[in-house]
Amino acid sequence: MPFWCYMLKCADGKYYTGHTDDLERRIAQHQYGGYCDFTSRRLPVTFVWCQEFTTRAEALESELRVKKWSRAKKEALAAGDWQRVSHFARPPGERVSTSLDTNGIGFATTSAGSPPC
């Protein structure tokens, strides 16, 4: 019997992660409300990701791991963007910036208009 770790996106933009042995039934329970207080207050929910496991322990371990992830990492997982998932797996100080925005931090320029060496 397979077990699943899954992630739903709620109407308010929050993510819910769980595990189950019957994925279709569990998603329907979330969608119709009454099963889980968290998702019942944030309907409708949208299924965004799942992974199959051979044991309940593996599915639960995956659930607990994903629940600790940042929103950005969960969004990368939902998008299937493994490069971004890997990026967010590194500690913030070890990540290479993927942004062209310097967040307001500029470089002093010389009279020629180029950054000083």
| Model pTM score | 0.78
**Full strand arrangement of the beta sheet holding 45-53:** 15-20, 3-10, 45-53
Over residues 26-57, the pLDDT tens digits come to 999 999 988 899 999 999 999 999 999 999 99
> Residue 3 forms beta bridges with which residues?
53
Q: Where are the domains of the chain?
A: 3-92
Contact 18, 56 (CB under 8 A): no
Over residues 65-114, the pLDDT tens digits come to 999 999 999 999 999 999 999 999 888 888 877 666 555 554 444 444 44
**Which CATH code fits 3-92?**
3.40.1440
